[in-house]
Amino acid sequence: MWASKVVAVDFDEVLAESMRACLAFHNYTICGQDIEYETITYYHLEDNDHLNITTDQAVQWFDDFNEQWQNTVDPVLWAYEKLLERKQQWHTMILVTARPSSLEKQTRGRLDKHFPNIFSQYKFGSIYHSTGITRSKAEMCAEIGADLFIDDNMRYLLDVQNHLPNTQLFLYERPRNHEYKSELHPWITKVSSRSDIFVA
Ligand SMILES: [Mg+2]
């Protein structure tokens, strides 16, 4: 028997193949330099030493894409059935995204199309964007009383762990989360396939 839990779920790279779509949109270039999916090891692109760009340029790169993303981003293939399975076990699903609230309409449209009847609330943090009032993932998780938090960005997981030590953490494997070490982060469950996720 499953107990009811509040599950905070990230959007980009957990539910949607956003980075691949963003790279394709920009023809695999940023500020005149080549950029590839596998060699981006930090989400904040200015932290990737092989790219010589500023924070403003990185934010602008994502913002340019976000104006058109709705027609080009594919959903993560396994995600819907796993979320539905847990929802049927009385879990409450809440979207907790770093996206700005200016993207709420198109984000919810995408969720309605690919993840219908899953989410009961939507939280927009406006982290790493040029518009909106910023709220951290920890603040948003605290607001909803998240029992579980699923994200692909180690920094957000560490932030939540710091402020909400009782929240179970799941890291979805992507090239950007190489900072994860099982011996250093035993409280984080790293998941890389549909069968692994929501193992708790
Ligand atoms: Mg993400």
Rounded to whole angstroms, what are the CA distances from 62 to 39, 54, 76, 148, 156? 17, 13, 19, 27, 18
Contact residues for 9 (Cβ-Cβ < 8 A; gap 6+):
15, 83, 93, 94, 95, 96, 119, 150
Least confident residue range of 68-77, 97-106, 116-125, 153-162: 68-77
Per-residue model confidence (pLDDT) at position 34: 94
Average predicted confidence (pLDDT) for the chain: 87
**Measured on CA atoms in the order 18, 23, 27, 30, is the torsion positive or negative?**
positive
C-alpha 1 to ligand 1 mean position (Å): 30
**Measured on CA atoms in the order 163, 164, 165, 169, is the torsion positive or negative?**
negative
The answer to whether 25 and 166 are in contact (CB under 8 A) is no
C-alpha 14 to ligand 1 mean position (Å): 6
- 155: exposed, middle or buried (Cβ count in 10 Å: 0-12, 13-18, 19+): middle
Per-residue model confidence (pLDDT) at position 200: 44
C-alpha 9 to ligand 1 mean position (Å): 9
Q: Is the pLDDT of residue 111 over 50?
A: yes
User: Could you tell me which CATH number the domain at 6-16+74-191 has?
Assistant: 3.40.50.1000
Q: Is the pLDDT of residue 163 over 90?
A: yes
C-alpha 76 to ligand 1 mean position (Å): 12
Q: What is the pTM of this model?
A: 0.88
pLDDT band at 72 (very low <50, low <70, confident <90, very high): low
Provide the residue ranges of all domains of the chain, joining segments of one domain with +: 6-16+74-191, 18-71
Over residues 30-45, mean pLDDT: 91
Per-residue model confidence (pLDDT) at position 25: 92
Axis crossing angle, helix 18-25 with helix 55-66, rounded to the nearest 10: 90
Q: Is the pLDDT of residue 128 over 80?
A: no
pLDDT band at 70 (very low <50, low <70, confident <90, very high): low
